[in-house]
Amino acid sequence: MSSVGLNIGLKALLTSQAALDTIGHNVANANTPGYSRQRLELSSDRALSLGGVRVGSGVRTDTVERTFDSFVTRRLVLQHSTRDALQNRLQSLGAVEALLGEPDGFGLGGLMDELFSSMTTLSTDTEDLVLRTSVTQSASNLTEQMHQLSTELGQLREDTSDKIRAFVNDVNVRADQLVELNKEISRIEATGVSANDLRDQREEALRELAEVIEISFQEDDGGAVRVLVDGRLLVGPTQSNELSAEQTAPGEIELRIGGSSQPIEVSEGAIGGLREFGASYIPGVMNQFDELARNMILEFNRRHSTGIPRQGGFDQLVGSNRLQDGDQDGDFRDELLRSAGLPFDIQSGRLYVNVRSEASGEVDTQRIEVDPSSMTVGDLLDEISSIDNLSASVDSFGRVQIFADSGFSFDFSSRLDEHPDVAGTFGGGRASISSSEGEPFAVLPGDTLELSGLLGNFTVTFQASDFAQPGSATAEELAAAINSSPDMIPGGMRAVAQGGQVAIQSQLTGATAQVEIVGGSALGALGMNAGVSMGHDAAVEVTMSGSYTGEANDRWTFRPNMDGQIGTTPGLQIEVLDEGGIPVAVLDVGPSYSPGNEIEIGEGLSASFSFGTVSATDGDFFTEEVIADGDSSDVLVALGLNSFFTGTDAASIELRADISDDAGNLALSSSGAAGDNGALLELIALQQETVSGLNGSLTEFYGDVVGDIGFEVSSTRNSLEVEEFLVGELTSQREQVAGVNIDEELVDMVRFEQSYQAAAQFIQTVNQLMNELMGIL
């Protein structure tokens, strides 16, 4: 607190004191002329009535005392209610705290640490099966503890409901006792005799009832008390209305009185405390653990789904999450991805699919643009199936399954394509003319491309059926349309699509190979010029190396700035452009470059080029997908493909069964290269990373949950201590009432009210001081 703040507090306190003095003065000089808006005074000519008894002059002190006593009793009954709500809450909170097993280290926190620690140990040798098994064991221990917590919290909620039902029976028994006491007191006092002993018994019974349920009560003229719960009559002069309890949902109990259709609300007493605990507190804690489990599943799976297991890529994968047939037409394929009933959201993003030939080791990387609001399940499956040597479908359970052809494997990793120019569009052996721009191409139905082949000139005419969206053609569509011309193969030509661009090439390689574009109306849209290109005896071989360290997925395009020979032609450079056409690097491959040497590009990557000829005129190029995240759409997580955990919450989280059975299935590599543990390092980093859904790391979130429960226990304990103190004080005060001079007492009350205000101000000021002091300890 600043000194300014303290001075304000003091000023307020002094103001209150000034007010107190004025009040004291007013009261002392009031001479009881009557009440006014300005001050509380006692009327001399028109005495106040208190419970029908006149006070101020010649009052019947004994009756007033009893009235005063009734207020203390009423307050005492309320304090009993509050105290018992707190007692029950504290007891229940203690049970939750015990479930967590903290801070003894046997709880979830210790098991989370153990999992990350076992992964860190595994990072020293990811091939070691013993270390891998240690990770799967730690993960299983963690999920087991999650299940136990979820089950026991659910059981605690059930126990709470059982306790409430037992207390409801107790209320009905006590209500009947009060009715009997009412009848007896009314009967005796009707004869003019005060039933003091029975009144004491009734007061005790009221206190006991208030301990169980929040009540209000008042005595009628006949001496009977009417007890109300939430404004409804529970106890009348001659009969009671039954309190009933009905469970409407786990942990939620509705209370009704006398068969009323309207449920009642109580917040104090044992029942009030338990109801709040069962219907609100425990579900809140359960939700927090479910959130923790859900985010753990999401984040572990995000990192693991793009990893590669010990034995390399997959020959098949089946998702663990089931699609929902929302429109009930018996076909999962027509569901939009965003409404396919998957347990995790799919974002707009990219999925990279790598297909590796086991024979050649060559990897073909394809990317799929995922848009959950326009892409159906069928679209996604078709996109995957359109990749050479892969097929995707939905099984009868609604799970997506992907198969690789024999001799091929696949993965979704951020692995680097080390030989990106398989098509030979960058100084390859074939004659090649490429488009200068990438897709989409504004080619329309009827547009033509005139080529000159081995058998003479021919024309390719594009049809509407060649494109999904005429005027916005993809490179794949164009290549397929051109290749479908019956003159292409006899003419010794082919069209290839690579990295969103299209090239017309000769089928033969070598210096005698030739390809010629004569003309056509599609040239402009294709970004091609009419001309002749010759093949090369010495093809340029491109090799990429390193690990991409950039933060975003991108596609880099490599183009020569002129025609020339690698390592020979002065001024020959290769420009590297990102997907937006922004230069990433310029590689000098002129006379100072020794062909075959690595040149650093940046972002962790290098490239090397063998000797050969490249041509800017022919549009030579190649592309490299640089991948930071193999699945920025979370579609793998949503489908449960190559997941680490399965399930959606604390009750259902499990280590994926085939990982549990064989720790070799842990997908810890991000490239498939020997010794690579990129995916594992990403999993380990998760321990410190902020998880967006939790506003902190997993361990911080758990720490907050435990801390909140601990704080709740501590503050409930403090409140209970105060309530017990107050119950004692009020009990003692009730016993002191006898012998009070009521006139003096009433005047004092006014004066005390001001003193209490001063005290409240003082408390606030000292509290500020205490907070500040605590802050520097």
Site residues (CB under 8 A) for other proteins, limited to 45-64? 48-52, 55
Q: Largest alpha-carbon pair distance within the chain?
A: 133
Closest distance of CB 44 from other proteins, Å: 13
Q: Which is nearer to other proteins, 11 or 187 (CB)?
A: 11
Q: 367: which 2 tokens?
A: 């990317």
Closest distance of CB 57 from other proteins, Å: 15
Q: Confirm or reject binding of residue 586 to other proteins (CB under 8 A).
A: no
Please give the size of the binding site for other proteins, defined by CB under 8 A: 76
Q: Which is nearer to other proteins, 367 or 751 (CB)?
A: 751
The three-state secondary structure class of 299 is: helix
Q: Confirm or reject binding of residue 39 to other proteins (CB under 8 A).
A: yes
Give the interface segment with other proteins, choosing from 180-188, 375-383, 408-416, 761-769 (CB under 8 A).
Answer: 761-769
Residue 323's contacts (CB-CB under 8 Å, 6 or more residues apart) are: 332, 335, 340, 341, 342, 377, 394, 398, 399, 400
Q: Which is nearer to other proteins, 1 or 166 (CB)?
A: 1
Round to whole Å and give the CA distance between 357 and 377: 27
Q: Which is nearer to other proteins, 50 or 454 (CB)?
A: 50
Round to whole Å and give the CA distance between 759 and 20: 11
Distance of CA 244 to the CA centre of its chain: 39
The CA-atom distances, in angstroms, between 137 and each of 101, 430, 641, 724, 775 are 20, 55, 21, 48, 43
Q: Confirm or reject binding of residue 752 to other proteins (CB under 8 A).
A: yes
Residue found under tokens 């005495």: 47
Q: Which of 311, 339, 733, 741 binds other proteins (CB under 8 A)?
A: 733
Q: Confirm or reject binding of residue 726 to other proteins (CB under 8 A).
A: yes
Strand locations in 412-478 (E): 430-434, 448-453, 456-461
Closest distance of CB 232 from other proteins, Å: 23
Q: Confirm or reject binding of residue 757 to other proteins (CB under 8 A).
A: yes
- Contact indicator for 295, 653 with CB cutoff of 8 Å: no
The CA-atom distances, in angstroms, between 603 and each of 203, 546, 556 are 81, 9, 12
DSSP string, 561-592: SSSEETTTSTT-EEEEE-TTS-EEEEEE-STT
Q: Which is nearer to other proteins, 493 or 730 (CB)?
A: 730
The three-state secondary structure class of 64 is: helix
Closest distance of CB 83 from other proteins, Å: 12
Closest distance of CB 753 from other proteins, Å: 6
Give the interface segment with other proteins, choosing from 295-303, 373-381, 459-467, 717-725 (CB under 8 A).
Answer: 717-725
Give the interface segment with other proteins, choosing from 7-15, 146-154, 397-405, 679-687 (CB under 8 A).
Answer: 7-15
Q: Which of 119, 387, 730, 747 binds other proteins (CB under 8 A)?
A: 730
Q: Confirm or reject binding of residue 738 to other proteins (CB under 8 A).
A: no
Q: Confirm or reject binding of residue 562 to other proteins (CB under 8 A).
A: no
Give the interface segment with other proteins, choosing from 429-437, 613-621, 640-648, 727-735 (CB under 8 A).
Answer: 727-735
Q: Confirm or reject binding of residue 40 to other proteins (CB under 8 A).
A: yes
Q: Confirm or reject binding of residue 189 to other proteins (CB under 8 A).
A: no
Closest distance of CB 69 from other proteins, Å: 11
Q: Which of 337, 346, 584, 750 binds other proteins (CB under 8 A)?
A: 750
Closest distance of CB 755 from other proteins, Å: 4
Q: Which is nearer to other proteins, 616 or 737 (CB)?
A: 737
Q: 675: which 2 tokens?
A: 């010794």
Q: Which of 168, 210, 663, 746 binds other proteins (CB under 8 A)?
A: 746
Q: Which is nearer to other proteins, 48 or 454 (CB)?
A: 48
Backbone phi, then psi, for 135, in 5-degree steps? -65, -45
Q: Which is nearer to other proteins, 56 or 272 (CB)?
A: 56
Q: Confirm or reject binding of residue 75 to other proteins (CB under 8 A).
A: yes
Q: Which of 67, 91, 216, 247 binds other proteins (CB under 8 A)?
A: 67
Residue found under tokens 């205490």: 770
The three-state secondary structure class of 739 is: coil
Q: Which is nearer to other proteins, 201 or 757 (CB)?
A: 757
Round to whole Å and give the CA distance between 105 and 400: 40
Q: Which is nearer to other proteins, 13 or 576 (CB)?
A: 13
Query: What strand order describes the sheet that includes 408-411?
Result: 363-370, 349-357, 408-411
Give the interface segment with other proteins, choosing from 36-44, 154-162, 408-416, 689-697 (CB under 8 A).
Answer: 36-44
Q: Confirm or reject binding of residue 3 to other proteins (CB under 8 A).
A: yes
Looking at residue 490, the DSSP 8-state letter turns out to be T
Q: Confirm or reject binding of residue 711 to other proteins (CB under 8 A).
A: no
Site for other proteins in 14-33 (CB under 8 A): 14-20, 22-24, 26
- Contact indicator for 573, 587 with CB cutoff of 8 Å: yes
Q: Which is nearer to other proteins, 20 or 518 (CB)?
A: 20
Closest distance of CB 6 from other proteins, Å: 5
Round to whole Å and give the CA distance between 410 and 353: 7
DSSP string, 740-758: --HHHHHHHHHHHHHHHHH
Q: Confirm or reject binding of residue 210 to other proteins (CB under 8 A).
A: no
Round to whole Å and give the CA distance between 74 and 207: 9
Would you tell me how many other CB atoms lie within 10 Å of the CB of residue 316? 11
Q: Which of 137, 718, 731, 743 binds other proteins (CB under 8 A)?
A: 718
Q: Confirm or reject binding of residue 1 to other proteins (CB under 8 A).
A: yes
Q: Which is nearer to other proteins, 611 or 762 (CB)?
A: 762
DSSP string, 112-177: HHHHHHHHHHHTT-TT-HHHHHHHHHHHHHHHHHHHHHHHHHHHHHHHHHHHHHHHHHHHHHHHHH
Site for other proteins in 677-706 (CB under 8 A): none
Q: Which of 29, 261, 406, 732 binds other proteins (CB under 8 A)?
A: 732
Q: Please report, as a single letter, which amino acid is at residue 584.
A: V
Instruction: Compute the Cα dihedral for 73, 77, 83, 87 and give only its sign.
Output: positive
Q: Which of 106, 397, 711, 756 binds other proteins (CB under 8 A)?
A: 756
Q: Confirm or reject binding of residue 758 to other proteins (CB under 8 A).
A: yes
Round to whole Å and give the CA distance between 711 and 701: 15
Q: Confirm or reject binding of residue 759 to other proteins (CB under 8 A).
A: yes
Closest distance of CB 80 from other proteins, Å: 13
- Contact indicator for 389, 441 with CB cutoff of 8 Å: no
